[in-house]
Amino acid sequence: MRINEAIRAPQVRVIGEEGGQLGIMPIAQALSLARSRNLDLIEVAPQAVPPVCRILDYGKFIYERHKREKEARKAQKAIEVREMRFRPKTGAFHQEIKAKRVRKFLEQGAKVRLRVLFRGRENTHPEVGFSLLQDLAKMLEDVGAVDTQPQMEGRSVFMILAPLKRKTANKQAKVEERADAKDQNP
């Protein structure tokens, strides 16, 4: 962002401190106008023809811009990605225990990366990992949807589950209730 003497355009469109247009004028006249008011001339739209400049206090302008950026960052929601690791020989009982924990993560709104780690010769049978991940996805389909399909990465297979929207889950429950009601009342 260019200010004062760093502005190289011969003519600029000047906007006053209240936001009103002061017109197109030579750069020297715009600089003298800004100095007479003890403010800076700031180029805000250099791509325009002629470039648009505002008469403002530069320090105050930067402060307000940082303040707006900080508010925008607060408004953003950081998506948390949790990870649950499995082995190809993980028993059904332990799979269910880990699936319950994954269910809690999804209900809290976090994405979950499910990873099956291979050691030694286990890597020769990646289909075991793929089938394990597919089974877990089926177990958790009521609270999470597959965001990234299972894929091989080094000596592991991973898949990412994203939480279902709460409204979507409620809609699915209502649709299932209607289907059950129709089945009961032929």
The correct CATH number of 4-58 out of 3.30.1330.10, 3.10.20.80, 2.60.40.10, 3.20.20.70 is 3.10.20.80
3-state secondary structure of 165: coil
* pLDDT grade for 79, boundaries at 50, 70 and 90: confident
What is the three-state SS of 35-92? HHCCCEEEEEECCCCCCEEEEECHHHHHHHHHHHHHHHHHHCCCCCEEEEEECCCCCH
Looking at residue 18, its pLDDT comes to 86
Looking at residue 74, its pLDDT comes to 84
* pLDDT grade for 117, boundaries at 50, 70 and 90: very high
The region of weakest confidence among 69-78, 138-147, 163-172 is: 163-172
pLDDT (average), residues 79-95: 90
3-state secondary structure of 133: helix
Residue spans per domain, the chain: 4-58, 81-180
pLDDT mean across residues, the chain: 87
- What's this model's pTM, rounded to 2 decimal places? 0.52
3-state secondary structure of 122: helix
* pLDDT grade for 186, boundaries at 50, 70 and 90: low
CATH number of 81-180: 3.30.110.10
